[in-house]
Structure 1
Amino acid sequence: MEIRQHDHLVFFGDSITEWGRDKNNPESLGNGYVSLVVADILEHHPDLKLQFFNRGIGGNKVQDLVDRVEDCLSCQPDALVLMVGINDVWHLVGKDGFASLAEQKRFETTYRKLLQTLKDAGIDRILLMEPYVLDYPEDRIEWRRDLDPKIQIVRHLAREFKLELIPLDGLMNEQALRSGRRELTGEDGVHPTLAGAMVIAQEILKRLTFVY
């Protein structure tokens, strides 16, 4: 994804994006992957004079991002990093509809609405990150029945909207084989440790092209 001079780069998502940001301070970037990405850009590309915004909120599902899309658009984004979906799985575990065809259709329809709203607002530089989970604790393996179809939906929508995609589920699980699952996501298989945040940040940075 191209990053150009004076761009506003917005990170939009759930708790993985929010990670410690002060929601009372619109300039707060938090302490997670967002801050790592921004620190690297500021070190290597200070002359681009970019502005950065973290608009992640813990617990958000895709419908929540649709409902608060103005929170994102108010930052006047030129480029957007977007990740959502794991809470659509997590909050449905043990409930009716988990892994159902109706649930996957709902997710696809809502995610498509989100992307269409962003596109209609003139944002065509969007980097999608698919949701992920690691298989620790072991009950997370059951989540895959609902998560895997959602990952395929995100990939399908990336093709449909001609957007760039980070296949984060595969990449995080690959790294977990090398360094260990708890080292990347602690005790819940989802929320990244600092090491996990670094993996996410590095994958984002690999896909950014800076244009002067």
Structure 2
Amino acid sequence: MHIKNDDTLLFIGDSITDAGRDRTDSASLGTGYVREIARTLRDRADRGPGPRVINKGINGNRVYDLETRWTTDVIDHRPTVVTVKIGINDTWRRYDRGLLSPVDVFEACLDRLLADTARELSARLVVITPFLLPAGPDQESWFDDLSPRTDAVLRAARNNGAQVVRADLVVTRAARDREPAELAPDGVHPSRLGHRLIADAWLAAVGSAAPGPRR
């Protein structure tokens, strides 16, 4: 997949994508990986401003929240490349609020969103996996829920020919040489360095791979 200057890139997800964007300003990209990707693509552009980039992340979202706003926040913008990062809140809410998101239901919802997008837009799809760098012993148990959920994300991506960015592997590898808090102080939300690592992983994966087959 090669990004062109006339592409419209839309990113949607939870707070990691949101990254403090100003929702009253449609051009606001927040301070996270989306802004880093946009800045790099702009710097690489031979002429002009580079591709249009839209950030539709909203903090706290689970996959079902994405579904309720998918038409207005994704389809109506007619993007040519759609990147989805979702899943950590579907796990987190189980442990802090007792709010369950069964993995099979989660997977079916994500699969439906990807399939509908490919059908409606013929858009190229990118999925970023959720990740966790436990900030304390209480978060270690989250992997009981997150690991099968990550597998579900990978299956939904594969079923719909989506390019996968393995944020879970990227941050875990980086944590071998750094304190996890340097990458995600609370285990979930990336630091500036963590966001840069995700951005670099997206740029490496999306910039060098051809789109896979779609159903």
Give the TM-score, by structure 1 length: 0.91
Deviations 1:146-191 (A, max 9, x none): 00000001111121111110121122111111111000001x1000
In structure 2, do the counterparts of structure 1 residues 84 and 40 end up closer, same or farther at CA, with 3 Å as the change threshold? same
Asked if the contact 2:118–2:125 (Cα under 8 Å) also holds between the matched residues in 1, the reply is no
Q: Note closer, same or farther for the CA distance 1:112–1:208 as it changes in structure 2 (3 Å cut).
A: closer
What residue number does 1:82 align with?
Answer: 84
String of CA shifts for 1:29-72, please: whole Å, max 9, x gaps: 11111111111110111536411111100000001111111212
1:74 Cα offset (Å): 2.5
SS at 2:176's partner residue?
Answer: helix
Q: 1:94 to 1:29 in 2, by over 3 A?
A: closer
Give the aligned length: 206
Per mean C-alpha deviation after superposition, the further-off stretch among 85-94 and 8-17 is 85-94
Structure-1 separation of matches of 2:81 and 2:135? 33
Q: Is the 8 A contact 1:13 1:82 kept in 2?
A: yes
Aligned-partner Cα distance in 1 for 2:203–2:6:
18
Aligned to 2:193: 195
CA RMSD of aligned residues (A): 1.7
Q: What is the aligned partner in structure 1 of residue 62 from structure 2?
A: 61
How far apart are the structure 2 equivalents of 1:46 and 1:76?
A: 24
Question: CA 1:208 to 1:105, structure 2 compared with 1: closer, same or farther past 3 Å?
Answer: closer
Q: Quick check: 2:8–2:52 contact (8 Å CA) kept in 1?
A: yes
Name which of 202, 205, 211 aligns with 1:204: 202
Given that 2:10 and 2:54 are in contact with CA atoms closer than 8 Å, whether structure 1 keeps it comes out as: yes
Q: Deviations over 1:116-156 (max 9, x none)?
A: 22112224311111111012222111000000000001111
- Secondary structure in 2 aligned to 1:29? coil
Give the aligned partner of residue 12 of structure 1.
Answer: 12
Residue equivalent to 2:211: none
Give the fraction of aligned pairs with identical amino acids, expressed as a percent: 31
Q: Residue 84 and residue 46 in structure 1: after superposition, are their counterparts in 2 closer, same or farther (change >3 A)?
A: farther
Give the gaps of 5 or more residues in structure 2.
Answer: 209-215
**Tell me, which stretches of 5 or more residues in structure 1 are unaligned?**
none
Structure 1 residue ranges, 4+ long, deviating more than 2 angstroms after superposition: 46-49, 94-98
Deviation at 1:95, TM superposition (A): 5.8
In the superposition, relative to structure 1, how do residues 31 and 97 fare at CA in structure 2: closer, same or farther (>3 Å)?
A: closer
Aligned partner of 2:118 in structure 1 is 119
